[in-house]
């Protein structure tokens, strides 16, 4: 694994694996929803889409996609709260160079034709409708709103219909010029490739990405508990979609690995505590999800369930009781060992492909300016003890740290609030 920095500030990470049959090229830009102003809600995501519309090299409709697929490669992109990623999966030898050319073209030479930007607005508005029709996704978004309120960490990545409809090519270009500068860029190539030749191609293509002398500073997220951390969205659904969250800490805290294990104890697998209590013991719902979602400045654990409408309050009560149990009684070694194996097993499974490795190591470097190795991650997970789990539960499982998002035929915040007591 080799790290480089170009003269203009673009960082490069090369993760060579001579045993791989393919490679992946990933461009990460350190800009996401949390970098937006109130008048720019949805801009980071819209820009991710707009960059694929046209460049000075690929001006025809669909030209960028055609250039990628002519190589037999796959491509996609995504927008998060902290960064945006563009990737190309190079399935044939030599395609890696074309992928570097195309990704550099996206961010250095976009043209934003007005007609295509207008078309893309309709695409994004349609995407909004898609997510509005998915109550589980909506519950996740509402949980963020419950935690962070009207600040960037609590906004929907897609933005609002009003802002997207009024977006102009000029305002989008201004947003791009402010955030898509050299020091925000990280190019990662992973898999089988020639390091020397690939580095030279990256230098050639990305050295012209502009370096910003005084880049804007991101506004810090206010992580203090809010007065009301319950959001209800009344809807005549056949089930109630619930996302219960626990405010925790950031990605760099020494508690981060312990929280991964704690989340696994609660929701990972069909023998986890929430699964056994809510589904197996009480038969209240079909699906249970959970995650430890940690970022640079803040984080939370989330637990999602979808009980029948008349069991919504009972399911919240059961989840809170499971949180209380972890505060009051040490987890047994057998259960802890199982949770640690599940965390490490998922981690190993998530590092199988060149793209998986590029995403994991790239995110590490982009957000923390360092890389946690596989062995370091596994050691920190294996070092988690029953005493630490109990300490984490008592530190974070408090009434003020609880938040709740509910979608279903419910109107009384008070009834749910009475249940969120630890």
Q: What confidence tens digit (pLDDT) does each residue in 390-399 have?
A: 999 999 999 9
What is residue 48's predicted lDDT score, i.e. its pLDDT?
A: 97
| Gap between the Cα atoms of 185 and 175, Å rounded | 15
Residue limits of CATH 3.30.830.10 in the chain: 2-206, 230-417
Q: How far apart are CA 349 and CA 356, in angstroms?
A: 9
Distance of alpha carbon 84 from alpha carbon 77, whole angstroms: 8
What integer is the mean pLDDT of 216-244? Answer: 94
Question: How many residues comprise the chain?
Answer: 422
**What is the pLDDT confidence band of residue 214, given thresholds at 50, 70 and 90?**
confident
In this model, does residue 215 exceed pLDDT 90?
A: no
**227 pLDDT band (50/70/90 cuts)?**
confident
Task: Out of 3.40.50.300, 3.30.830.10, 3.40.50.2000, 3.30.70.100, select the CATH number for domain 230-417.
Answer: 3.30.830.10
Encode pLDDT of 368-392 as tens digits: 888 999 999 999 999 999 999 999 9
Residue 139 has what pLDDT?
96
Contact 270, 289 (CB under 8 A): no
Q: Of all residues in the chain, what percent carry a pLDDT higher than 70?
A: 100
The whole-chain average pLDDT of the chain stands at 96
What lies within 8 Å, CB to CB, of 111 at 6+ separation is 53, 54, 55, 56, 59
CA–CA gap between residue 302 and residue 84 (Å, rounded): 23
* pLDDT digits 0-9 by tens, 37-76: 999 999 999 999 999 999 999 989 999 999 999 999 999 9
Q: With 0-12 CB in 10 A as exposed, 13-18 as middle and 19+ as buried, what is 64?
A: buried
CATH of domain 2-206: 3.30.830.10
Q: Is the pLDDT of residue 156 over 90?
A: yes
**pLDDT score for 361:** 96
Averaged over 292-306, what is the pLDDT?
96
Q: What is the mean pLDDT of residues 234-248?
A: 96
Span 264-286, average pLDDT: 97
For 246-267, what is the mean pLDDT?
97
Residue 29 confidence (pLDDT) above 90? yes
**pLDDT per residue over 167-187, tens digit each?**
999 999 999 999 999 999 999
Per-residue pLDDT at 84 exceeds 90: yes
CA–CA dist 146, 233 (Å, integer): 12
Q: Helix, strand, coil proportions of the chain in percent (round to 5)?
A: 50, 20, 35
Output the CA–CA distances (angstroms, integers) from residue 61 to 66, 172, 242, 307, in the order listed: 9, 20, 42, 46
pLDDT at 241: 97
Average pLDDT over residues 143-150: 96
pLDDT of amino acid 22:
97
Q: Ramachandran region of residue 252, left (φ > 0), alpha (ψ -120 to 50) or beta?
A: alpha
């Amino acid at each position: 694994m080799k790290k480089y920095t170009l003269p203009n500030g673009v960082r490069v990470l090369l993760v060579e694996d001579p045993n791989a049959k393919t490679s992946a090229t990933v461009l990460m830009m350190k800009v996401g929803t949390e970098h937006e102003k109130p008048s720019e809600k949805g801009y980071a995501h819209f820009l991710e889409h707009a960059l694929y519309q046209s460049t000075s090299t690929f001006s025809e409709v669909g030209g960028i996609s055609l250039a990628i697929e002519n190589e037999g490669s796959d491509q996609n992109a995504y927008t998060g709260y902290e960064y945006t990623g563009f990737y190309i999966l190079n399935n044939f030898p030599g395609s890696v160079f074309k992928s570097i050319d195309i990704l550099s073209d996206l961010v250095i030479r976009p043209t934003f034709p007005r007609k295509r930007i207008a078309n893309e607005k309709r695409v994004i508005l349609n995407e909004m409708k898609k997510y509005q029709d998915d109550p589980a996704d909506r519950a996740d978004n509402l949980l963020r709103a419950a935690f962070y309120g009207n600040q960037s960490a609590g906004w929907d990545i897609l933005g609002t219909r009003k802002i997207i409809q009024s977006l102009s090519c000029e305002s989008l270009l201004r947003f791009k010029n402010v955030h898509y500068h050299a020091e925000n860029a990280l190019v990662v190539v992973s898999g089988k490739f020639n390091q020397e030749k690939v580095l030279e191609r990256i230098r050639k293509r990305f050295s012209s990405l502009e370096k910003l002398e005084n880049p804007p500073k991101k506004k810090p997220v206010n992580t203090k508990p809010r007065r009301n951390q319950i959001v209800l969205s009344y809807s005549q659904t056949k089930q109630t979609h619930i996302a219960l969250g626990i405010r925790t800490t950031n990605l760099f805290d020494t508690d981060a690995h312990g929280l991964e294990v704690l989340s696994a104890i609660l929701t990972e697998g069909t023998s986890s505590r929430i699964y056994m209590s809510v589904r197996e013991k009480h038969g209240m719902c079909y699906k249970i999800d959970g995650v430890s979602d940690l970022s640079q400045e803040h984080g939370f654990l989330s637990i999602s369930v979808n009980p029948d409408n008349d069991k919504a309050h009972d399911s919240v009560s059961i989840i809170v009781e499971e949180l209380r149990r972890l505060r009051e009684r040490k987890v047994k070694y057998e259960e802890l060992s199982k949770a640690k194996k599940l965390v490490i097993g998922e981690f190993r499974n998530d590092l199988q492909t060149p793209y998986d490795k590029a995403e994991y190591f790239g995110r590490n470097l982009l957000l923390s300016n360092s890389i946690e190795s596989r062995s370091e991650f596994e050691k920190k997970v294996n070092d988690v003890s029953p005493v630490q789990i109990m300490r984490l539960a008592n530190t974070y499982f408090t009434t003020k740290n609880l938040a709740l998002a509910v979608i279903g035929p419910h109107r009384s915040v008070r009834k749910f609030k009475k249940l969120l007591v630890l």
